[in-house]
Amino acid sequence: MGRPENDSRESQEAKISAAAGAYAGALIAGDEVAAEIAIREAMDAHLSSEVIDDEIIAPALWLVGELWERGEITVADEHIATEISIRVLALQREVQRVAQARGGHRVMLAAPAGELHVVALRMVATLLREAGYGVVMLGADVPADALGAAARRLEPDVICLSSTMPEGADELFGAIAAVQQKWPSARFIVGGRGLTPRIQSQSILGVCARVSEVVEAVDAMVKRAGLN
């Protein structure tokens, strides 16, 4: 069995090598879409800009230069590869800009009174943090008045609530009402198996079936509120 740090170094190297191969292949094929996908996947795999620049984009361009010197591709192919790489650099900058813009917004997470199931909420916290949002996790079983007071003090842009128990609908509505009273500009995203059709039909709520939907849902709410 390998040591954990060796395993993680190996997995990092495997990610770099896969992305480098995909990116070089895309440049040689003049395939802008495939090149962008390779870099997006590298960013999603949390490879840093330094690694992407030094170990993926630069080596691919060096390879293109060698192929040109050997007469295996034309100067036009070399220009296409360069243009694609310049566009990919702009994509990297845009992703950083979005993450920085998210950093100016705060999302508060809680399970309403009586609700102890918080694993999904923990996943939501990780996803939002990774996307760049400021996250405040209040955890399980948060009484409505405490949630309202925390919202007034911390002024979150969005509040994510999770409700698993079917009898939790009243507590969920109570939590929302308490926040609306204390911090009316907050928007709400709710998830969980306990959501009743009545909750799901509330137009003021964003409803997520899966945690993987949350970043997009928060982005949409923050944009709609004209906050960025």
Which residues of the shown chain bind ligand B12 in the complex (CB under 6 A)? Answer: 114-121, 123-124, 160, 162, 164-166, 189, 191-193, 208, 210-211, 213-214
Closest contact distance (angstroms) between CB of 193 and ligand B12 is: 5
Closest-CA residue to 208 (of 190, 196, 188): 190
Give whichever of 85 and 162 is closer to ligand B12, judged by the CB atom: 162
Take residue 123 and report the two structure tokens written for it: 């996943």
Closest contact distance (angstroms) between CB of 4 and ligand B12 is: 25
Give whichever of 26 and 150 is closer to ligand B12, judged by the CB atom: 150
Give whichever of 26 and 175 is closer to ligand B12, judged by the CB atom: 175
Closest contact distance (angstroms) between CB of 113 and ligand B12 is: 9
Closest contact distance (angstroms) between CB of 34 and ligand B12 is: 30
DSSP string covering 160-182: EEE--SGGGHHHHHHHHHHHHHH
Closest contact distance (angstroms) between CB of 42 and ligand B12 is: 25
Quick one: 210 exposed, middle or buried, by C-beta within 10 A (0-12, 13-18, 19+)? exposed
Helix residue ranges per DSSP H, the chain: 4-29, 32-44, 49-51, 58-69, 75-102, 119-131, 144-154, 169-182, 197-200, 214-224
Give whichever of 64 and 150 is closer to ligand B12, judged by the CB atom: 150
- Rounded to an integer, what distance in angstroms lies between the CA atom of residue 60 and that of residue 53? 10
Closest contact distance (angstroms) between CB of 78 and ligand B12 is: 45
Closest contact distance (angstroms) between CB of 197 and ligand B12 is: 15
Angle between helices 214-224 and 119-131 (to 10 degrees): 60
- Rounded to an integer, what distance in angstroms lies between the CA atom of residue 99 and that of residue 90? 14
- Rounded to an integer, what distance in angstroms lies between the CA atom of residue 41 and that of residue 35? 10
The residue of the chain with the least Cβ separation from ligand B12 equals: 191
Give whichever of 51 and 214 is closer to ligand B12, judged by the CB atom: 214
- Rounded to an integer, what distance in angstroms lies between the CA atom of residue 100 and that of residue 131? 9
Give whichever of 51 and 118 is closer to ligand B12, judged by the CB atom: 118
Amino acid letter for position 212: S
Give whichever of 42 and 124 is closer to ligand B12, judged by the CB atom: 124
- Rounded to an integer, what distance in angstroms lies between the CA atom of residue 125 and that of residue 118? 10
